[in-house]
């Protein structure tokens, strides 16, 4: 009886630990944010186990049912589309319910997008904060006002459709000369890490266009 959180590759399928593969092979049931995406990974490693959806649209409905199954002795592995479940992805609710009901929870170490983005940014990272996905409207002004004086490095995820707008917003609140790094398509064939001032990076992506998964790292205020 155990729920095991299994980080999955953020791009390159080789970025999974031996231990994670073993856990997936031994689980009674695999919970997947998108069964189609996770099935690609499972087929790659010849893992043939029952798989069922667990995502933001059904997690409130199925959490208790899954806890009941776990209490009956089943072991389950939780996967999201990429990275570590619970980090800007579904997972927290089920972990909380398991803890409340005395079900053991274990989280394996492994892939998550913001760590390599932070490390290769060239921005001082001895202290940093992670903001996940920024609010689209409500609370956006308040958050940017607070972050403008934050002295730690700031890391967040962004949609390619909103990246340029967000960089322009950051220029408004932080100033055009603040250093940043935008990491795109980490671990994939077309990985790109664009470093420079907020103005330089915003102008670059305005001209080039943006595709793929995005992580933004911004230097803290001096």
pLDDT for residue 219 = 98
Separation of alpha carbons 56 and 74, rounded Å: 22
Residue 77, helix vs strand vs coil: strand
Query: Please, are residues 110 and 80 in contact by the beta-carbon 8 Å criterion?
Result: no
Confidence category of residue 166, pLDDT binned at 50, 70, 90 = very high
β-strand 153-158 against 214-218: which pairing, if any?
Answer: antiparallel
Q: Containing domain of residue 183, as a range?
A: 114-218
Q: Which of 76, 107, 138 is the last residue of a domain?
A: 107
Q: Can you give the pLDDT at residue 14?
A: 96
Kindly state whether residues 40 and 96 are assigned to the same domain. Answer: yes
DSSP string of 158-184, one letter each residue: E-TTTHHHHHHHHHHHH-TT-EEEEEE
Looking up residue 36, the CATH number of its domain turns out to be: 3.40.1010.10
pTM of this structure: 0.92
pLDDT in tens, 106-157: 999 999 999 999 999 999 999 999 999 999 989 999 999 999 999 999 999 9
For residues 96 and 123, membership in a common domain is answered with no
The sheet with strand 192-197 has its strands ordered as: 128-133, 153-158, 214-218, 179-184, 192-197
pLDDT score of 111: 94
Is residue 20 located within the same domain as residue 61?
A: yes
Q: How confident is the model at residue 221 (pLDDT cuts 50, 70, 90)?
A: very high
pLDDT tens digits, 182-206: 999 999 999 999 999 999 999 999 9
Are 89 and 143 in a shared domain? no
Assess whether 167 and 199 both reside in one domain: yes
Give the residue from 50, 72, 107 where a domain finishes. 107
Share of the chain above pLDDT 90, in %: 99
Domain count within the chain: 2
CA distance 68 to 92: 17
Q: Are residues 8 and 65 in the same domain?
A: yes
Which tens digits make up the pLDDT trace of 61-109? 999 999 999 999 999 999 999 999 999 999 999 999 999 999 999 999 9
């Amino acid at each position: 009886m155990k729920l095991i959180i299994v980080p999955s590759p953020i791009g390159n399928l080789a970025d999974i630990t031996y231990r994670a593969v073993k856990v997936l092979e031994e689980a009674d049931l695999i919970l997947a944010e998108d069964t189609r995406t996770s099935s690609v990974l499972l087929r790659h490693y010849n893992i043939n186990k029952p798989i069922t959806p667990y995502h933001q649209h059904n997690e409130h409905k199925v959490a208790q049912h899954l806890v009941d199954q776990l209490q009956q002795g089943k072991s389950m592995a939780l996967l999201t589309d990429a990275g570590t479940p619970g980090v800007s992805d579904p997972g927290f609710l089920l972990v909380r319910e398991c803890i409340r009901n005395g079900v053991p929870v274990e989280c394996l170490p492994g892939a998550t997008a913001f760590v390599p983005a932070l490390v290769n940014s060239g921005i001082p990272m001895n202290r940093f904060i992670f903001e996940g996905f920024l609010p689209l409207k409500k609370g956006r002004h308040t958050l940017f006002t607070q972050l403008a004086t934050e002295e730690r490095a700031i890391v967040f995820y962004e949609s390619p459709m909103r990246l340029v707008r967000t960089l322009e917003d950051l220029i408004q609140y932080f100033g055009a000369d603040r250093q940043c790094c935008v990491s795109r398509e980490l671990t994939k064939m077309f990985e790109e890490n664009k470093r420079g001032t907020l103005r330089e990076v915003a102008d670059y992506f305005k001209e080039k266009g943006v595709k793929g998964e995005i992580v933004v790292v911004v230097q803290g205020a001096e």
